[in-house]
A = this chain, B = another copy of it.
Amino acid sequence: MNPTNSSGLPLAEAKARFIHTWGVSGASWGVSKTLAQVHALLLVSPAALSTEDIMDQLKISRGNASMTVRELLDWGLIYKELRPGERREFFVAEKDMLQVTRCIIRARKRRELDQMKRSLDQLAALPGDAADPEYRAFHAVLADIQQLATVSDKMLTRLMQAEKSWFWDKFIKLFM
A interface with B by C-beta (< 8 Å): 2-5, 7-9, 11, 14-15, 17-18, 21, 24-25, 28-30, 43-44, 46, 95, 97, 101, 111-112, 115-116, 119-120, 123, 126-132, 134-135, 137-138, 141-142, 144-145, 147-148, 151, 154-155, 158, 172, 174-176
Contact call A128/B14, Cβ cutoff below 8 A: yes
Of B15, B97, B175, which contacts A145 at CB under 8 A?
Answer: B97
Asked if B115 contacts A43 (CB within 8 A), the reply is: no
Beyond known contacts A3-B128, A11-B129, A95-B141: 9 more, CB 8 A cutoff: A9-B127, A11-B128, A17-B123, A21-B119, A28-B30, A97-B145, A151-B172, A154-B176, A174-B174
Chain B residue, CB-CB nearest to A1: B127
CB < 8 Å neighbour of A127 from B8, B128, B132, B144? B8
The reply to whether B154 and A123 form a contact with Cβ atoms under 8 Å apart is no
Bound complex: CA of A3 vs CA of B129, how far in Å?
Answer: 6
A44-B141 CB under 8 A given contacts A3-B130, A28-B112, A151-B172 = yes
